Structures are given as C-alpha cells and as structure tokens.
Structure 1
Amino acid sequence: MQPSKKAFRRHRQRLRDLLAQRFFDTRYGRELLISGIGARVLTMTVDCGDHILSFSPADYIGKKIYRKGNFERDHVDRLLAILKEKRLLVENSTLLELGGNIGTQTIYFALTKAFSRIVSVEPDPRNFGLLRTNINQNKLDDRVTLVNCAAGESEGEIEFFQHRDNHGKSSALRQNVADCKIVVPVKPVRTILAQAGIALDEVGLIWMDIEGYEPLACRSMELLLARKVPLYMEFSTCFYGVEQSAAFVQYLAKYYEDGLIFREDDIASVRVRDIPLDEKQFDLLLYDSSI
C-alpha cells in the first residue's frame, strides 16, 4: 500500500475513533453503550468527578451511574439541607447506614463531611465486595466502617434473596421467583455499633434502605429510636401490606411525632400517627421537632 493510502487510513481511523468517543460521551451514547455490554464484563469503573465508582454494568444502579454520573445523589443533598435547616445535624456524630449497597450514598455522605464516622451495613456479598472496593479506592476507609450482615432482632443467620437485575432490590423478603436464595449473617444494631466502637449517643442519623425489612430492623435498634435519632427510610406498604403497615406506624409513633414524606415532586409534613397507608412507597424522615 502506498504511504499516502496508509496515512489516509490512519487519519480515517483516528477520525472514526474521535467521533465515536464524542458520541459515546453523550447521554444517549452512554445509554446505548451500557445497554450493549455483554455478560463477560463483570465490573466497570468510572470517574464521577469528585470520586470514582466501580459497579456491575448489568445492574440497574450501575447503568444509572454510567448514564448520569451518580445514583440519586440529590437525595443525600436534599436530606442534609433539611437536617441543617431544622438544626438536627449533630457535629462529629456518626451516620448509621443500613443497606449500603455498593457505596453510592455512603460516598456522597462522606464527601460532605457532615459526619465524622459512617457505619455502612450491607448483607449482599455481591454488593459488599463493590462497597469495599469503592470505599478503599476513594480513600475513605479511615472514616467508613463496613459490616457484611443484615440488621435484625437477634444474632444468627437469615435467608436472603438476591434480585437478578437490580442488586438494590435484594432483600430478606422474596420478591420474584427468579431471586437467588442465600444465607447471610444477621446482628442486632446494638451489636453492630458495639463491634464498630460506636456508642449509641454518637449516632446522629439512621439512613435505611433495606427493601421491606424496615420493621424488623427498627426493633433491633429501639434504644436509638428512644433517643429520637433522625431516621430516614423507605416506607413500603407494597411490602408490608396494609395491616402490617398500620402496626408499623403505631410502633414508630411510640418514638416519633413528626415526619416528612418525600414524593417525586413534593415534600410534605406529616404527624407520624397519620402516615398514609394507601400509597405504595415513599421516602420518610422521622425526627423530633422539640430538639
């Protein structure tokens, strides 16, 4: 081949690669690329600006991170703004995170430096491996303690169901026949905190996202609820059923009077005893307005 033809081919390849890079860096291009990655690619790592994240490209959360650069980071920012406004943020306190998943919210909280320590609890071994990787590669291991277990009333083991397509939907409650059943360790929250060297009065916020297991987890941390530690969680009538939801509301009302309901485009105040039972799912902040 003549030199001019070789040079033309190289130029054409460079132009093709440049155009492909620009296209796959658009929102649509990223969506197309992440959707087309085959099963042989187990994990990916991306630069998200002020941190990096490793994830499974087959997972719902991983796909969203790749497309948007974050996974619901605005939820963390919104909550912290409300806690500051209501003067509920305690300096040098600890965040207890139940349902750390792969560490997205863990990292977002850590980057704000709103808490001096974070204890992140995650039972799913698939998620926990990525959680540990993400905390280590962002050099946050000096402030974040990772615990690979579920939170429950007593120490032992429980059945746990891994969601195939959305690792964030894995739960101690089976949701689909295709879920993979495994056994994971379970510990009461008081034991988790004691083993992490955290006193109860050091906990300044509980962040809980555990797919329907919230009533059992709450019973394992009644001492924290009695201290009226702000509690942010997903309230899921679709998991509990109306009867259990009503019982859960009565249980929570023994410890908290005030709450905020977070819907897609709305934040509404609510008395805890009046938490609605006719909605499928919403995020909920419980707190003590008298503090």
Structure 2
Amino acid sequence: MLKNQIYRSVLKSVRRFGRHRFFHSPLVARLLWDTAPREALLLADCSSEIFVVAAGDPVIGQWLFKHREPYNFFKLHRVASLLSERHLTSLIDIGANIGTICIPAVKRGLFERAIAIEPEPLNYSLLRTNVEVNRVSAHITTHNIALGEKNDETLSFELSKINFGNHRVRYGSDVTDPGQETIEVPSQSLDRIAEGVDLGSALLWMDTQGFEGHVLAGGTRTLHRKPPLVMKFWPDGLSRSGGLERLRQALQVAGYTSFRDLNEPDDVFLPFSVDVLDVLAAQLRSGGGQTDLLLV
C-alpha cells in the first residue's frame, strides 16, 4: 500500500512538472533534446500519456519529446473513424516500438485491449516501462519477439544507428549495411500470437520494415477470419526480404476486397485485388516510396 502511495505521489509530481508551460515551449524542448546525452532517457508528457524516450532516437523519440503527441497515432484515429460501424475491441500491434500506438489506443478508449510485439531489446524495455507508467498493463500484453513465417525460429535482426524505428529482420539478400550491428531474436507466427483473440473484433496493425510478407505468411488461420489490416507497404523493402510474393499470396488467400491508402486525403474505399497491389507497387517504386494501407 505504501509503495503504491509513493508511486502515485511521484507520478503526480512528474506529470505536474512536465506540464509546466515552460517545458512545453518548442524552443525549450528543442534545446533540451539537442543538449541531452545520447544515452539519456527523457520524459515526454503528452495530452493523455507519459512516454519515456531514448535521447539517441532522432525520429520517434525526438517527435514525442518535441511535439508531445504520440507518433503517427492520428492514423489510428483515422482508421477507427473509417471502421466506426465495426465493434473493434482488440488491437494486435506488430512492430510496436515504444508503445506510441497501442498505449494511447487503450488509454484513450479506442480499444479495450492490445497485444504488442517488439523484438529490439531497448525499444521493448521502453515499451514495458511506458505500459507500466501509463497504468495499462492489465490491458496490454507485450512480447519481446519478432513475428515470422514459422514458429520457434531465430532471426537475424539488424539495428539502425540513426532511427530506432528502422530496425529490421535481415533475411537473405536484405542487407541494408553489412557493417551494421545485428542481434538474434526469437520469432513466432502470427497464428500462434493471435490464438484466443476474437478476430471478429480485432484490428491488425503492422509495421515491420519490409518483413510484412513473412509475417502474413505465418498468419493463414488469422487472415482466414479477415480482420481489418493496416500495414506499411514498401515494395523495395519487401522485394529485398523476399516477401513481396509472400504478401501477394497471403492477401489473395485472405480475400480482402477493399482498401484505403492512408496517405491519401480522401476516405473512399477502393476495390482491392493483388492486381491493384501490383499497380500500387509499380507507382511507389518509381519514386522509391512507401505508404500505409488499410484492407478490409
């Protein structure tokens, strides 16, 4: 009881300190970020959540600290609006990073529960910390693994030096930089992770830096239920990992019939097929680009 009282008191003080308007000044935030040692951990106090971030992460961590809003969470809000007629209660967050999607999804009431998958140890430790700090541990289950095509594999995982959200599985010829540090991470299939989840009320949210084809190839039973799926679509990364054809086959078998490009402003669903996916891949490759797709 005393421990809980101390915890609540400290947390309340931290939140009050972090919300002082002085610390929400963009200039002050930039100064604090730019002068922090790379190994430091910083506190980003958002409108509804607190996130502990690594000062060495110049993308997601820096965004959170300077903007005080979960990175890319607006896209989940948009998806929830597009799917408002469905009663979605569970989120499977594949490539959860430090929790900027799953934590506000639960804390702000968009979903009742979430499963968060994050293979990289530092990101995972911050994910666990942020789940605990935001008091959503009863509603979010975390796994320090990768998802892949098979159960109980060990995958080589390449660590980005410049973007902690850009770590990726090194598979076959998919080598971004032969000199980059790699670690070994355990993997399970999507089908195993999704066991016991009511897929009729679940949303799959996936960003695995070009490994999406392998993840979906390990989710045949899951995709048979055709839960709404949000995924990063990066044709070059998929091709390097040998996952583009796996992705095509998995989506064809799943039978998704409509999609929405979340990087486009309109909210009209368009007919989906693997032929449409091929056309979109050709368009993105011409500019070396990527996008986020919602499939239903």
Instruction: Give the alignment's TM-score, normalised by structure 1.
Output: 0.81
CA distance in 1 between counterparts of 2:80 and 2:225 reads 20
Partner of 2:294: 285
Shift of 1:56: 0.2
Shift of 1:200: 5.1
**Alignment root-mean-square deviation, CA:** 2.3
Partner of 2:248: 249
CA distance in 2 between counterparts of 1:37 and 1:161 reads 25
Partner of 2:162: 165
CA 164–190 in structure 1, closer or farther in 2 if over 3 Å, else same: same
Moved more, 101-110 or 166-175: 166-175
Partner of 2:222: 224
Shift of 1:117: 1.9
CA 23–199 in structure 1, closer or farther in 2 if over 3 Å, else same: closer
CA distance in 2 between counterparts of 1:104 and 1:244 reads 26
CA distance in 1 between counterparts of 2:148 and 2:201 reads 18
Shift of 1:202: 5.8
Moved more, 250-259 or 148-157: 250-259
Provide, for residues 229-258 of structure 1, a one-character-per-residue CA deviation record: whole Å limited to 9, x for no partner: 000010111212399646633541332111
Structure 2 unaligned regions, length at least 5: 1-19
Which amino acid in structure 1 is aligned with residue 108 of structure 2?
T
Partner of 2:61: 62
Partner-residue secondary structure (3-state), 1:233 = strand
Alignment of 1:123-134 (within 5 A): 123-134=119-130
Alignment check: 8 A CA contact 2:212 2:247 kept: no
Shift of 1:44: 1.1
Alignment check: 8 A CA contact 2:205 2:231 kept: yes
2:165 corresponds to 1:156 = no
2:190 corresponds to 1:181 = no
Which amino acid in structure 1 is aligned with residue 293 of structure 2?
L
Which amino acid in structure 2 is aligned with residue 129 of structure 1?
S
Shift of 1:183: 0.1
Alignment check: 8 A CA contact 2:91 2:102 kept: no
Partner of 2:232: 234
CA distance in 1 between counterparts of 2:77 and 2:265 reads 15
CA distance in 2 between counterparts of 1:99 and 1:186 reads 12
Alignment check: 8 A CA contact 1:24 1:33 kept: no
Name the count of aligned residue pairs: 259
Which amino acid in structure 2 is aligned with residue 217 of structure 1?
V
Structure 1 unaligned regions, length at least 5: 1-20
2:242 corresponds to 1:263 = no
Partner-residue secondary structure (3-state), 2:169 = coil
Partner of 2:100: 104
CA distance in 1 between counterparts of 2:251 and 2:39 reads 45
Which amino acid in structure 2 is aligned with residue 161 of structure 1?
E
Which amino acid in structure 1 is aligned with residue 191 of structure 2?
R
CA 188–283 in structure 1, closer or farther in 2 if over 3 Å, else same: same
Partner-residue secondary structure (3-state), 1:39 = coil
2:143 corresponds to 1:147 = yes
CA 221–158 in structure 1, closer or farther in 2 if over 3 Å, else same: same
